[in-house]
Structures are given as structure tokens and as C-alpha cells.
Amino acid sequence: MTVQRVWKLHNLQPHRTRSFKLSNDTEFERKLVDVVGLYRKPPEKAVVFSVDEKPQVQALERKQAILPMRCNFPEAYPHDYKRNGTVDLFVALNILDGTVVTQFHNRHRHHEFLSFLRMLDDATPSKFDVHVVLDNLSAHTAAVDRFCKRHPRFHFHYTPTGASWLNLVESWLSNLTNKRLRRGSFASVPALKKAIKEFVKTHNSHAKPFVWTKGADEILHKVRKIQHLLVTGH
């Protein structure tokens, strides 16, 4: 009881842990302010897309059926599975209405990324500017300069290195993994693509935007707090 009182007095919770990752990007603050500002106050007469790839999505076929939950027995997954190929998924999340645009490719080089950008260009009315939030993957940076010269209405906003949490589309990709892929069994790549397309169709029919609530100042305050703890914690 003494230990418990000390923990409560100092608001200590030793049973809880959390992970963290600090970006080493020298332009972290500038990029953070830019992206968060775009989320919280999108420009007028523009469409904002959060873009990323999910590379090497595996078509995993489970060798035995998943056992459903029963009384005194949780849902059980078989350990063994067969790999039936992979596919790369490109995704753009419209932050204003929550809908997504997807495209499949066998690789994720700058050629495939340019193909995806052209699809976004065709899908967006010409009267709107297009703002794209993306990371610093080499396939992106190699393609962007050439594309921007030919499509001046496109504006790119890079997330800081090591800060994938700042890209809103990651939330949608997490939903895809948890709600459809992780519990699925796919006998082929076409079966995997079909399942993803069905998930996208269902999502878009009831789409809701992901709302970014934290301001840049609040995020920077927490980052500096962790940086301070790294110096003083040991």
C-alpha cells in the first residue's frame, strides 16, 4: 500500500508504456507547420490529398480456416500460410471528404508514382489546385520536379523524415490492414486486389474525413519535452 500511495502521489503509472521516435530532419519544424496548417485550414478552390504506398502487400492463404470465437475460446488464427504473390498499393486520401483513390502496381518506382499522379490529375476537376502531402521516398523526389513543371496546379508538401505519423493516409492504411488484410485469406493476387477494391468501395460509400485536432505548437511542445527527457532522464 505504501508503494501504491507513492505512485498515486506522484502520478506514476509503471504498468503503462509508450513508444516514441524523434525525427532527425533539420527542417522538421518548418515541414510540421506546413503540413498541419494544410490539414487544419485547407486552401480555397483546392483539393488536398494525403498520399502514400503500401508496398509488397502479400496475398497470404491460410492453410487452415480461422476458428471463430466461442464460449471460453477466443478467435484463433492458424500459424501456417502460403504466399501467393505480392502487389503494391498506391493510395490518395482526400482530407476534405475522407474518400480514397487507389491504384495497383507490381513495383513502386518513380514510373509507377508518376502514373498515380496522372490518375489524380485526371480525377480532379481542372478548376482546382491540387495539394499533395507525401514523404521523402526517393521515388517521389525523383519524379516530382518533372511533373510539377508540366502540371503547375500541383503543390507538394513533404512530411519530415521519420515522421510518417504526420501523413493522414496512414490512418486509412491501418484500417485496411486491421479490418480486411490481417484477418483474410487470399488464394491469389487477383483475389487480394478484389478484396481491397471491395473495402475501398465500402469505405467511399460511407466516407468520413479524419479530423486533425492537434496544432503545430502543441506537437512541438511535446517533442521538446521528450528531447529534454532524453537529456535529463538518465
Q: Which amino acid is at 142?
A: A
Q: Which three cell numbers stand for residue 10?
A: 506522484
CA 53 – CA 92 distance, rounded (Å) = 9
CA 120 – CA 135 distance, rounded (Å) = 17
CA 212 – CA 37 distance, rounded (Å) = 10
Confirm whether 101 is domain-assigned: yes
Confirm whether 4 is domain-assigned: no
- Residue segments in the chain with a per-residue pLDDT below the cut of 70: 139, 233-234
**Residue 99 near residue 120, CB atoms below 8 Å:** no
**Residue 99 near residue 47, CB atoms below 8 Å:** no
Confirm whether 180 is domain-assigned: yes
Confirm whether 203 is domain-assigned: yes
Query: Tens of pLDDT along 24-35?
Result: 888 999 999 999
pTM value? 0.85
Q: Which of 103, 128, 106 is nearest to 117 (CA)?
A: 103
Query: Tens of pLDDT along 105-138?
Result: 998 888 888 899 999 999 999 899 999 999 887 7
CATH number for 170:
3.30.420.10
Confirm whether 3 is domain-assigned: no
Residue 166's domain comprises 24-66+75-232
- Identify the pLDDT of residue 25: 85
Residues whose CB falls within 8 Å of the CB of residue 89, separated by 6 or more in sequence, listed in order: 53, 54, 55, 57, 102, 103, 104, 196
45: left (phi over 0), alpha (psi -120 to 50) or beta: left
Q: How many domains does the chain have?
A: 1
